[in-house]
Amino acid sequence: MARTERVVLQDRPQPVFAGLVQRGAEDVPAEVVDVDHGYVAGQDRAHRAPPEGSVPARHRRLGDMSALSPFTCVLWDVDGTIVDASEGILRRLSIALEHFGHPAPTHDELVHWIGPPMFDSFQANVGMSLEQSAEAVAYYRTIGRADGYTTGARLFPGMAALIAELGAAGIPQATASSKPEVQVVALMDHFGLAPHLTATVGSTPDEQTLSRKADIIGEALRRLAAAGADVSRPVLVGDRHHDVEGGAERDVPVIFVRWGFSWPHEAEGAQAAVDTVAELRALLLVGEPEEPRPEEPEPEEPARATASRPASVEIG
């Protein structure tokens, strides 16, 4: 009988998982283990699986693991995980804060702003009231619309290829961002990632109606399930403690990426933390990435057969 190995990446009293382990020449997925409740990947969580018959039969295998991933769907935070939008955020935030009589932040201070909803950040970072914060958010978004939501944004290297590879493997993906959804849609379209996503989810424009990370995760799972995806074994990839806390509230394991805007301690509570896209891929996909095949030279056109002709003879 095949043996599934188990490795714990972070020794915590929360659900932990271990990506892949090598056993000889064979890649096998490690188990997803909840040490408190005995959950192991392969056992559906009925309370999150869509009811039988709720989607057409032809969709029920959408996201089927088929030995490609320990997870049936992947949720993505955006800022600090897929996209580095710090340049545009710093510019717009400086204009907004100075407009309301506050000093502009330095680039190093962006760690306090990128990740949580701006509505919360204006209160937490400069002491605005609820009313002042709502006004500041509206002003900040006005600047964003004038700027263009994609101005100054760039992808973290390797992320587009990973998302495309997951899409090619048939693993449903969705964003679960605290960024307003209209901006998330613009970014995914701009970077050509939209075709790989089953759902694009962000906060409501006011960042109040739908803004809590746990609620956004729940909405992402709802839309995936409505599209026929298997949401029984989701994973969230993010870079802030809000992602970890929101995932815990929804009972969704979190892979914490360390290339975003965060403090080291924010990874506490995540089921794994990674420093590179290669490490992240090893947790999401089974097997080594395929190397691009060298282009084969086009075969030479075979010589056409010609009738033999006798040699000419000169007479004279």
Question: pLDDT tens digits for 8-25?
Answer: 344 333 333 443 332 223
What is the rounded distance in angstroms from the CA atom of residue 81 to the CA atom of residue 77?
Answer: 6
What is the rounded distance in angstroms from the CA atom of residue 197 to the CA atom of residue 195?
Answer: 6
Tokens standing for residue 109: 């201070």
- In this predicted model, what pLDDT tens digit does every residue of 140-162 receive, in sequence order? 888 888 888 898 899 999 999 99
Q: Specify the pTM.
A: 0.67
Tokens standing for residue 178: 């605290």
What is the rounded distance in angstroms from the CA atom of residue 248 to the CA atom of residue 36?
Answer: 13
pLDDT score for 295:
55
CB 239 within 8 A of CB 259: yes
What is the rounded distance in angstroms from the CA atom of residue 76 to the CA atom of residue 160?
Answer: 12
- In this predicted model, what pLDDT tens digit does every residue of 29-70 receive, in sequence order? 333 333 233 223 333 333 333 333 333 322 334 444 445 999
pLDDT score for 7:
32
Q: Which SS3 state, helix, strand or coil, does residue 127 take?
A: coil
In the chain, count H helices and then E strands: 8, 12
Tokens standing for residue 159: 């992320």
- In this predicted model, what pLDDT tens digit does every residue of 176-197 receive, in sequence order? 999 899 999 999 999 999 999 9
- In this predicted model, what pLDDT tens digit does every residue of 103-146 receive, in sequence order? 988 877 776 777 677 888 889 888 899 899 989 888 888 888 88
Domains of the chain: 44-81+153-284 (3.40.50.1000), 86-147 (1.10.150.240)
What is the rounded distance in angstroms from the CA atom of residue 95 to the CA atom of residue 92?
Answer: 5
Nearest to 40 by CA among 29, 32, 52: 32
Nearest to 117 by CA among 178, 175, 176: 178
- In this predicted model, what pLDDT tens digit does every residue of 208-258 receive, in sequence order? 688 899 999 999 999 999 999 999 999 999 999 999 999 999 999 999 999
What 8-state DSSP symbol labels residue 161? H
What 8-state DSSP symbol labels residue 180? B
What is the rounded distance in angstroms from the CA atom of residue 105 to the CA atom of residue 86?
Answer: 12
Q: Which SS3 state, helix, strand or coil, does residue 32 take?
A: strand
Question: Scanning the structure block, which residue is given the tokens 């989810």?
Answer: 201
pLDDT score for 108:
77
What is the rounded distance in angstroms from the CA atom of residue 20 to the CA atom of residue 128?
Answer: 46
Cα distances from 187 to residues 16, 148, 149, in angstroms, run 31, 10, 7
